Amino acid sequence: MATLKKSARKKTASASKNEDLQAQAEQMSKRLGESAQQVWLAGVGAFGRAQAEGTKLFETLVKEGLSLEHVTRKAAGGKAQAMRDAVETTVGQARERASDTWDRLEKVFEERVHRALRRLEVPSREDLSTLIDRVDALNAELRKLGGVPATKPARAARPRKTASVKKSAPAAKKTPAKRASRKKAAP
């Protein structure tokens, strides 16, 4: 009897441990999902901020360039062209840096969207193009074999059963053999 009580206690203790482990696993899974969501949102936020700040940076640099140009014209009449060139170079470099940053952020964003679409199994443009090409090739093959005319729907392409069609019944038996040979050649 004492051994039965001990084994019952062990079973309830092990069931309790299993439930605790399962609850911990569910909590960890939930936390991981929330963390992934936060990482995604942070990426989108960074993309938006870079877009807004990139424009502001450019506008600020243009204003600074204009003010520097005015100051240099007043200070040194002959050196204005040299300063203008320097400012244009600086603005050009700033544009390049802003453009590079923008391009990198855009690429990161596109890659993340592409990966998310792949995880959701959304077909890509290439997948759809390949599928369209295969359907076109099959339609062309059907047209060659006389199965479907190019302008009429498939139902209209079937001949009506008449006395002449019934007489040519042995020829219709050869059609499945053609289909079988086509299936072997297709892969």
Q: Provide the pLDDT for residue 2.
A: 61
Q: What is the mean pLDDT of the chain?
A: 75
In sequence order, what are the residues at sequence separation of 6 or more whose Cβ sits closer than 8 angstroms to the Cβ of residue 107? Answer: none
**Comparing 127 with 162, which gets the higher pLDDT?**
127
* Domain spans, the chain: 13-119, 124-150
Judged against a pLDDT cut of 60, whether residue 168 lies above it is answered with no
How far, in Å, are 13, 39, 140, 171 from residue 177 at the CA level? 68, 58, 20, 11
pLDDT over 80 at 173, yes or no: no
% of the chain residues with pLDDT over 90: 13
Could you tell me the pTM of the whole model?
A: 0.27
Confidence of residue 142 (pLDDT cuts 50, 70, 90): very high
Residue 98 has pLDDT above 90, yes or no: no
How would residue 10 be classed by pLDDT, with cut points 50, 70 and 90?
low
> What mean pLDDT is predicted for residues 43-70?
81
